[in-house]
A and B are shown apart, each in its own frame.
Chain A
């Protein structure tokens, strides 16, 4: 009995660890790809939105790919830990990572890191999803429109952290509107929403999924989205651009592999991801999470990363905002 309990515990622990598959082994002949399981590294803890997204994708990937697809979680430093690990490996297509745009287009503008991953340090495989930011104020706030809010001046705005799109979008918006505003960074979306609900800050930008329920309940009021067009879940909320402030900031996720991945391997993988991303289960997950699919090829992903980084830099420079000085 007592040994049984101990063994059961040990077995449970062992099975938890057994879900990792190391992608070593040289497979020079890419025509045989994939000959073994493909490992997807999610740069987030299990249960987070990126993790769920990756799991829904890999689940539907096995059939079109013709191989097992395994999810490995390597959270930390907004994806840098996972990226550093995967992109230093062999470009054989057996280890890929799901990466966030902010690591390449937002963070570097705000935080000095000589060791940062660059766009050239990876082979871009496929775009996955776009998550939009929405600007919210408390439900009972006197500010009914973006114009109201910007007219108020001397704002305290909540952000979901340093180097996030939440911070960047608001810094640019308030800079453009020449409103005196002080950022108060929180640790992720949930505490930021709580701070707005409790009126600890005047306003905050968060992902649509993080605010949606409270907006529906009337506890938060959405004033603007920072996307090119209105969000499907919030059709009545104007874009910042519509209101005269062309601030376009979103969070995107894409699949990337080590640099030098053979083109045929990349295409095979991209085609399989395409099929998986069209599966009802995956689309349903995106829908319930208020995330929009991003059907982009590798070149488009690279263009997007470079373009947004360039745009943010130019905008900040034109506005005379030193993003690095922004906390």
Chain B
């Protein structure tokens, strides 16, 4: 079989005018969202979910994917110019990026991050093209027991690798698991925690959880801090990096590409984590680490490359195994389901048009972003001046209309607002919604896979250890749980 022919056919899908248009729309929207602080890609994709019903599946996923990686470009702009990260994944960019801007070299910072993002994204797509079919190839070996271990691993990694406190993450994950049990028992059909209403019989819709906790909560949270820390700088300077900038960031871009790609695949990883890891790595390998925080170009190039590579590679576990690696991918998972597409091992085979169309649209999207980002920086800076008092209510309105249209249900609308308020309160006391949403998605998988496995093993728990892949995954879980303890003990040993 010709391995490349579906890949090339995928380009045919991308170059259909309609799909190109949605790709352009996606990346532009993504950039805009990245620029606007507080409105993250997960929230935007969640808000747009219901609108995508009326768009053909491939086109809608192309657009949503564009929003995700486009936001990685846009987030940089506010990080650099305002020291106000538009995106969690661009927080570390603000450290050196804004310093560069204060030295009048904002252009260099923005230019280098656009180039880095492009390189990181492209490297990740090439790797994705090669790796995804391989993963999908052995994905049929993934059955109930493997999914049980994988879901467990995912939830564990979110709680330990997350940006917040592990204890809080664990608590949030537990709430997510609990919410996931609402509705009909997945195996027996018995109603659980439905409070006696048919509305909850099918469980809580993921769209509602995502829009409430990400969308509404974020907006409410932002309304609290209406003041802007400063007016955007009007002069950006040249947006084209100097030759010296490029030479200095070559290594950082290469390392960021690889690191971002790898961390993006990991459950619980993704853009935010990889940008932070890349910053730490650059500081470690730098000849003059003291320059970091004072305007080191590498401190911008590394993280910006990594977050874009990760944004791309996190599509691998989603599309091939049906497992979302991070919160944004969880929303993307919902988008696919809404379109009647179940991401999983058979997707590459059964929907090659969709799969390769989406993958290849990322090449095109990254090119578009590179072409647009530098000339359009000035425009996006002006967008920053939209008053939140106008933007916030409008977004909430769109969210409400959106959630209503899913099932024409006012109940869902109230549920979403309720979850939004809950999410706002959570944020206020330092609880991130990410672990909750991800555990909510993985919880259903965990429960039903575990119970299916038990049926297959005839009720014998040791059956899990007879499956090679499952056993390896379980070993990894034990390792992750035990390693910190051993390290602590070892440290105590040397100290004594």
What is A's interface to B at a CB cutoff of 8 Å? Answer: 1-3, 5-6, 9-10, 12-14, 16-17, 20, 45-48, 51, 72-77, 80-81, 84, 107, 110-111, 115, 156, 161-163, 182-188, 190-191, 193-195, 197-198, 200-201, 213, 327
B190 at the interface (CB under 8 A from A): yes
A1 to B379, CA, bound (A): 9
Which residues of A have CB within 8 Å of B342? 188, 190-191
Which of chain B's residues has its CB closest to A197's CB? B140
Q: Mark B393-406, 1 if CB is under 8 A from A, else 0.
A: 01001100110110
**Least CB separation from A1: chain B residue:** B379
Q: B143–A197 contact, CB under 8 A?
A: no
Q: Are B344 and A46 in contact (CB under 8 A)?
A: no
A14 engages B401 (CB within 8 Å): yes
User: Could you tell me the distance between the alpha carbons of A184 and B449 in the complex, rounded to whole angstroms?
Assistant: 10
Q: By the criterion CB–CB under 8 Å, are A16 and B397 in contact?
A: no
In the complex with contacts A47-B340, A186-B452, A77-B184 CB distance below 8 A: yes
Residues in A neighbouring B397, C-beta threshold 8 A: 10
Chain B positions within 8 Å of A200 at CB level: 143-144, 456
- Can you report 25 A-B residue pairs in the complex whose CB atoms are below 8 A from each other? A1-B383, A2-B386, A5-B29, A10-B394, A13-B50, A13-B398, A13-B405, A16-B50, A45-B340, A47-B57, A47-B338, A74-B408, A75-B202, A76-B202, A77-B198, A77-B202, A80-B201, A81-B407, A111-B189, A162-B184, A162-B186, A162-B187, A200-B144, A213-B350, A327-B187
Do residues B186 and A187 form an inter-chain contact, with CB atoms below 8 A?
A: yes
Residue of A2, A161, A162 most packed against chain B (CB within 10 A):
A2
Residues of B within 8 A of A183 (CB): 455
Task: For residue B354, give the distance in angstroms from its CB to the closest CB of chain A.
Answer: 12
With A10-B398, A20-B408, A200-B144: A191-B184 Cβ-Cβ less than 8 Å: no
A45 to B339, CA, bound (A): 8
Q: How far is the CA of A80 from the CA of B199 in the complex (A)?
A: 10
User: Is B382 engaged at the interface, CB distance under 8 Å to the other chain?
Assistant: yes
Task: Return the contact of B188 from the options A5, A17, A327 (Cβ within 8 A).
Answer: A327
The reply to whether B455 and A182 contact each other, CB–CB distance below 8 Å, is yes
A12's closest neighbor in chain B, by CB?
B51
Instruction: Output the residue of A13, A48, A77 with the most chain B CB within 10 A.
Output: A13
Is B345 in the interface zone, CB < 8 Å from A? Answer: yes
Measured between alpha carbons, how far is A6 from B50 in the docked complex, in Å? 16
Q: How far is the CA of A10 from the CA of B386 in the complex (A)?
A: 16
Contact among A48, A73, A111, A184 with B144 in the assembled complex (CB-CB below 8 Å)? A184
Contact call A48/B187, Cβ cutoff below 8 A: no
Complex A-B, nearest 8 residue pairs according to Cβ-Cβ distance, in ascending order: A47-B340, A200-B143, A162-B189, A198-B140, A76-B202, A17-B405, A77-B201, A111-B189
B401 contacts A17, CB within 8 Å? Answer: yes
Q: How far apart sit A107 and B391, CA to CA, in the bound complex (Å)? A: 47
Which residue of chain B has its CB nearest to the CB of A327?
B188
**B404 contacts which chain A residues (CB < 8 A)?**
17
User: B484 at interface (Cβ–Cβ under 8 A)?
Assistant: no
How far is it, in angstroms, between the C-alpha of A213 and the C-alpha of B352 when the chains are bound?
14
Distance of A92 from chain B, by nearest CB (Å): 19
How far is the CB of A99 from the nearest CB of chain B, in Å? 15
Interface residues on B, range: 35 or more
> Which residues of A sit under 8 angstroms from B50, Cβ to Cβ?
13, 16
Please give, as numbers and ranges, the residues of chain B lying within 8 Å of A1 by CB-CB distance. Answer: 379, 383
A199 to chain B, nearest CB (A): 8
Residue of B nearest to A157 (CB): B455
Q: How far is the CA of A5 from the CA of B24 in the complex (A)?
A: 13
Given contacts A13-B51, A16-B50, A81-B201, contact A185 B407 (CB under 8 A): no
User: Which of B186, B201, B339 is within 8 Å of A185, CB to CB?
Assistant: B186
| Proximity bits, B141-160, A CB within 8 Å = 1, else 0 | 11110000000000000000
For window 231-278 of B, CB contacts with A under 8 Å fall at: none
Residue B222 interfacial (CB < 8 Å): no
Residues of chain B from 359 to 400 with CB closer than 8 A to chain A in the complex:
379, 382-383, 386, 391, 394, 397-398
Shortest A134–chain B CB gap in Å is 17
Given A47-B340, A187-B448, check contact A110 B189 (CB 8 Å).
yes
Residues of chain B within 8 A (CB-CB) of A198 are 140-143, 345
By the criterion CB–CB under 8 Å, are B344 and A190 in contact? Answer: yes
A3 vs B32: C-alpha distance when bound (angstroms): 12
**Alpha-carbon distance A27/B404, docked complex (angstroms):** 27
Seed contacts A72-B408, A75-B202, A186-B452; 19 additional CB < 8 Å A-B pairs: A2-B383, A2-B386, A6-B394, A13-B51, A13-B402, A14-B401, A16-B51, A17-B405, A46-B338, A46-B339, A47-B53, A47-B57, A47-B340, A51-B340, A111-B188, A162-B184, A162-B189, A198-B345, A327-B187
B174 within 8 A of A: no
Which A residues are in CB contact (< 8 Å) with B54? 16, 46
A16 to B379 alpha-carbon distance, docked (Å): 29
Contacts of B338 in A (CB 8 A): 45-47
Q: How far is the CA of A163 from the CA of B458 in the complex (A)?
A: 22
B346 at the interface (CB under 8 A from A): yes
Residues of A within 8 A of B345 (CB): 194, 198
**How distant is the Cα of A20 from the Cα of B338 in the complex, in angstroms?**
18
Q: Cα distance A161–B452 when bound, in Å?
A: 12
CA of A1 to CA of B140, assembled, Å: 48
A326 smallest CB distance to B (angstroms) = 9
B383 to chain A, nearest CB (A): 5
Determine whether the beta carbon of B53 is less than 8 Å from that of A201: no
Within 8 A of A (CB), among B299-348: 337-342, 344-346
Q: What's the nearest-Cβ distance from chain A to residue B27, in Å?
A: 13
Question: Known interface pairs A77-B198, A111-B190. Does A46 touch B456 (Cβ–Cβ under 8 Å)?
Answer: no
Closest to A154 in B: B458
